[in-house]
């Protein structure tokens, strides 16, 4: 009952954030131009974030794609000098790094950063975390799968040391054992995964560019886990096509509204009232019932009301 109460409370907070706060964020305001800096617009989730932001934002924008291999940082600085934006919206870690080196008078708002806590965040920076709050993810997992109490995780210290510490603390509070294994290079992933899987009930994939270094590596992770009949929980709906059992992800349309809200508040001069980084206000929970049945997983049926989408 305690977990059920916690889930209900979390969902109520998300509901209030989405439907009460963000629709009121667009007020009569003379909006200045925003430069949208995309780490790589060929990546679907980055392009989606950009498109949804532009659909929500009432002002003018200038788009710059760092996925263009001909674009140098010198070229980018020329664009900034020409356009003279007061705010840069950085999508992804590379975009944030470039934006953060621009003149300090330019404000930076970000989204889609992998583990933002490892990066320099200063007073001119505001942003939306890429992942749902760790406690919320762990609570939802525990609520849906009360019998899967040993969770495995592969990660690189360079990118996710801080995130895994948070996950481990949250797991312990929920009575879940987190079995960790670090990798330094992509070629270590297969061997590390094979040694990890016999000791876990599920595998938790987090956003880690060393572990998830390419589509072939991702396919291999899912193939090995499938042979071991170990369900995979992850953070993005792109993994459903690979065979993920559960997706706990931030809702990108709601995130776009949050970015617009932050930019509007900055332009109103309300920065001092804002947190530097906030959690996503919306969630998208996808449960793959095909995999649940295939692996013989026992579900808590009372928890199904927390799921947005079922794959059958």
pLDDT category of residue 15 using cuts at 50, 70 and 90: very low
pLDDT over threshold 80, residue 252:
yes
pLDDT of 20 reads: 40
pLDDT over threshold 90, residue 31:
no
CA distances from 43 to 39, 121, 238, 299 (A): 9, 24, 11, 33
What 3-state DSSP class applies to 126? strand
Report pLDDT digits (tens) over 44-55: 899 999 999 999
Report pLDDT digits (tens) over 117-171: 777 788 889 999 998 999 999 999 999 999 999 999 999 999 999 899 999 999 9
Write down the domain spans for the chain: 2-130+251-282, 134-249+285-311
- CA 78 from centroid of its chain's CA atoms: 31
Strand partners of residue 288: 311
Q: Taking a C-beta distance cutoff of 8 angstroms, is the pair 238, 45 a contact?
A: yes
CATH of domain 134-249+285-311: 3.40.50.2300
pLDDT of 259 reads: 96
pLDDT category of residue 25 using cuts at 50, 70 and 90: very low
pLDDT of 249 reads: 93
Q: How far apart are CA 175 and CA 101, in angstroms?
A: 43
What number of residues does the chain have?
Answer: 312
Q: Nearest to residue 266, comparing CAs of 106, 48, 47?
A: 106
Provide the percentage of residues in the chain whose pLDDT is more than 70.
90
The two beta strands, 232-234 and 202-204, are parallel
Tokens, residue 276: 């530097």
Report pLDDT digits (tens) over 185-216: 999 999 999 999 999 999 999 999 999 999 99
Report pLDDT digits (tens) over 209-237: 999 999 999 999 999 999 999 999 999 98
Q: How far apart are CA 286 and CA 130, in angstroms?
A: 17
What fold characterizes domain 2-130+251-282? Rossmann fold (3.40.50)
Q: Taking a C-beta distance cutoff of 8 angstroms, is the pair 76, 64 a contact?
A: yes
């Amino acid at each position: 009952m305690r977990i059920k109460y916690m889930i209900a409370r979390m969902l109520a907070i998300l509901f209030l954030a989405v439907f009460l706060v963000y629709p009121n964020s667009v007020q009569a305001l003379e909006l200045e131009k925003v430069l949208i800096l995309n780490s790589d617009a060929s990546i679907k989730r980055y392009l989606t974030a950009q498109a949804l932001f532009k659909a929500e934002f009432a002002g003018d924008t200038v788009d710059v794609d760092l996925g263009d291999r001909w674009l140098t940082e010198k070229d980018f600085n020329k664009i900034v000098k020409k356009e003279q934006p007061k705010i840069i919206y950085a999508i992804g870690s590379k975009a944030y790094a470039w934006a953060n080196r621009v003149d300090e008078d330019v404000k930076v708002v970000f989204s889609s950063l992998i583990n933002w806590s490892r990066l320099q965040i200063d007073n001119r920076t505001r942003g939306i975390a890429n992942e749902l709050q760790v406690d919320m993810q762990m609570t939802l997992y525990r609520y849906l799968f009360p019998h899967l109490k040993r969770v495995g995780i592969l990660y690189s210290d360079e990118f996710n040391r801080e995130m895994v510490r948070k996950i481990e603390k949250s797991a312990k509070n929920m009575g879940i054992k987190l079995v960790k294994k670090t990798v330094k290079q992509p070629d270590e992933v297969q061997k590390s995964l094979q040694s990890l899987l016999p000791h876990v009930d599920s595998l938790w994939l987090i956003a880690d560019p060393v572990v998830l270094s390419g589509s072939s590596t991702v396919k291999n992770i899912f193939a090995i886990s499938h042979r071991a009949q170990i369900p995979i929980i992850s953070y993005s709906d792109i993994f459903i096509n690979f065979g993920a059992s559960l997706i706990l992800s931030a809702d990108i349309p709601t995130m776009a509204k949050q970015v617009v809200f932050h930019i509007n508040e900055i332009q109103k001069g309300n920065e001092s009232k804002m947190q530097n980084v906030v959690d996503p206000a919306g969630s998208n929970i996808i449960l793959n019932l095909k995999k649940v049945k295939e692996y013989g997983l026992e579900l808590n049926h009372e928890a199904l009301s927390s799921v947005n989408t079922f794959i059958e």
